Chain A
Amino acid sequence: MLSPSHLPLSATLRHDRSGLLMRASHVLVVVFVVAALVFAALGAALGDTFFLRLATEALILGGFALSVDILLGYTGLLSLGHALYFGFGAYVSALMLKQTPSFWLAMGVVLVAAAAFGFLTGLIANRVRGVYFALVTFGLAQVFAKVVYNTRALGASDGMIGIPIVPIELGVVTVMSNAPVAFFLFTLGFVTMLYAVSAYLLDTSFGRVLGALRANENRVPFLGYSTHRARLAIYVFASVVAALSGALYPMLRGFVSPELMFFAASGNAVITVVIGGVGTLVGALYGSVILTVLKSVIGTMTEHHLIVVGLIFMAVVIFLPKGLMGFVRPRVARLLDGGGR
């Protein structure tokens, strides 16, 4: 028999690098939320609408990018069609809200429908790996986007307009989706919750199996885990996160269009994650703000803003290959590790 261990559990846990880095992400999320609250206060004081709504859009796209990082950064799956689920959530939400403007009903239906849709499409996408996975996810998104594009009942190429203003009942207060400050704060809370749930999941034993898949998939079955099942489970989860983010989109903009599912949207989310830092989770939020601001600011100067975005993307890949948070986070982690001693 093995001799009883003399190493306390806390002593071994100190060498849990994934856990330490995740705590560093939490710190950076707190910084992000504080900055967002300051921004909201400023916006409210100045009576701004434009920038608050732009920032709300950045948060919604940040929630979407979060789901892409769960796949790419934590499981090693590059999806080039994940906007399919963002668009799916947006369309289901829009259809529901046009029937009855009930926020919670719409979100509930999006949650269940996205899980089912993510499961069925995930069965197809997860038959293959690597480049083929990227191609199949790309193809899936193209197929569904074209179907939506050509379906009159869904507004075809025009999309759907006239999504009503939604009251969001939160017990003590009710947030109107057209109130810039309130809806911004609500979205901030919602996306932070998506982050918290995702971060929790990634720190569980299941989450660690995902990290193992990314690090060395071939070894995972010999640890007693079905790689197929683990990949499918996280694919469904990431689909739900993307769809829940997408569900907020028509509330903000009042319309949905098939472009939400197009490759540009999927590609943008990947670029967001790369700029923010792959495998940092919090990087998706920072990356989304950076990209949204850049697009908007440069967009006012030139309509060829994608050229600038492309150049910035290349610069980040060359000079900051781990992205902004990939650069910042290990430094925060070192501070945390030193402080814990």
Chain B
Amino acid sequence: MTEALSIENLSVAFGGIRAVDGVSFVVRRNAITTVIGPNGAGKSTLFNLISGQFRPHAGRVMLDGVDRTGAPPHLMQRAGLGRSFQITNLFFDLTVFENLQLAAQRLDPPHQMLRPISRSTIGLRRVGELVERFGLEAKLGELAGALSHGEQRRLEIAVALAAKPSVLLLDEPTQGMSHGDTADTAKLIRKLGREVTILLIEHDIGLVMDISDHIVVMHQGRKLAEGSPAEVRADPAVRTAYFGDAA
């Protein structure tokens, strides 16, 4: 079986600065892989390269064994990639229902594009599933912009998951969350990790060590180390660069 996502020697530079520099790693199917690293390490740029926002200058992105390097975002989505954003990126003027419906209607057959959305049975059924799973029943009719920050972050994940991607990229899903919400989100992601391949960016080290199957450490655009949580924690180079530990 091919790997869900494999990144080979990926590089991009902006104005001479190598934001991502020869990074390679493999994301195992139905597991949680987390990218960590200090601010400016190139984590979000890496996500943007994978999801098609930026075109890499070198290297390859393989999704489900197919070379998708340089494909634009909408084609990456159709190839099975879903992503959330570090800064909440929803349709704030639309209701929670409409946000989910928009993301889920891609599951319908192509001719649904020119039929009323009340006929979008597959999409609407998917909305029903997501609403229950993410506990948004009571919020369906509210504008996404009127939700609390924690609810918006949850909706952000639900929208990314709506079209049943094979690989889900989550960019700091707990950003700005309270402790309670963070714990709930960790639980949610761990559950999701059993049915969809997850590549995660996260700053909360406790959470990362807790839910990750595999960790990739980035530093100044390069991959510093990778391995299981225990291996990464023990790596002297990681301790120096990331934990600021002199040991």
Contact = CB atoms under 8 A, between A and B. Distances in A.
Interface string B115-152: 11110110111011101110001001100000000000
A10 B121 CA distance: 10
Given A12-B140, A211-B94, A204 B74 contact: no
A219 B91 contact: yes
Contact of B141 (A6, A9, A15): A15
Contact of A9 (B52, B113, B124): B124
B124 A203 contact: no
Contacts of A204: 112-117
Given A6-B132, A9-B125, A12-B128, A205 B92 contact: no
Contacts, number: 130
A11 B108 CA distance: 19
B232 interface: no
Residue of A1, A208, A215, A223 contacting most chain B CB atoms (<10 Å): A223
Contacts of B117: 16, 19, 203-205, 208
A125 interface: no
A2 B102 contact: no
Interface in B174-229: 195
Interface in A1-27: 1-9, 11-19
A226 B74 contact: yes
Nearest to B163: A224
B93 A215 contact: yes
Contacts of B69: none
A3 B129 contact: yes
Given A205-B108, A212-B102, A221 B74 contact: yes
B77 A216 contact: no
Given A3-B129, A12-B127, A224-B77, A205 B91 contact: no
A111 interface: no
A274 B189 CA distance: 46
Nearest to A200: B116
Contacts of A219: 89-91
B97 A12 contact: yes
Contacts of A8: 128
Contacts of B105: 205, 208
A225 interface: yes
A189 B113 CA distance: 27
B163 to A, nearest CB: 6
A13 B83 CA distance: 25
Contact of A12 (B89, B102, B131): B131
A204 B116 CA distance: 4
Interface in B56-114: 72-74, 77-78, 82-83, 89-98, 101-103, 105-106, 108, 112-114
The dominant DSSP class at the A interface is helix
B137 A16 contact: no
Nearest to B96: A15
A300 interface: no
B6 interface: no
A209 interface: yes
Contacts of A327: none
B91 A215 contact: yes
Contacts of A215: 91-94
A13 B132 contact: no
Interface in A202-235: 203-206, 208-209, 211-212, 215-216, 218-227
Contacts of B137: 7
A218 B83 CA distance: 13
Contact of B91 (A2, A216, A221, A227): A216
Contacts of A206: 113-114
Contacts of B11: none
B33 interface: no
B51 interface: yes
A15 B123 CA distance: 15
Contacts of B98: 15-18, 208, 211
Given A3-B129, A12-B140, 14 more contacts: A7-B128, A7-B132, A14-B141, A15-B95, A15-B140, A17-B97, A200-B116, A203-B116, A203-B117, A204-B117, A205-B105, A206-B114, A208-B98, A222-B74
Interface of B: 51-52, 72-74, 77-78, 82-83, 89-98, 101-103, 105-106, 108, 112-118, 120-121, 123-125, 127-129, 131-133, 137, 140-141, 159-160, 163, 195
Interface of A: 1-9, 11-19, 200-201, 203-206, 208-209, 211-212, 215-216, 218-227
Going nearest first, the 7 A-B pairs with the smallest beta carbon separation are A5-B128, A15-B97, A221-B73, A224-B77, A15-B141, A7-B128, A215-B91
16 contacts: A2-B133, A4-B129, A5-B132, A9-B125, A12-B140, A13-B97, A204-B116, A208-B102, A211-B102, A215-B93, A218-B89, A221-B73, A222-B51, A223-B77, A224-B77, A225-B74
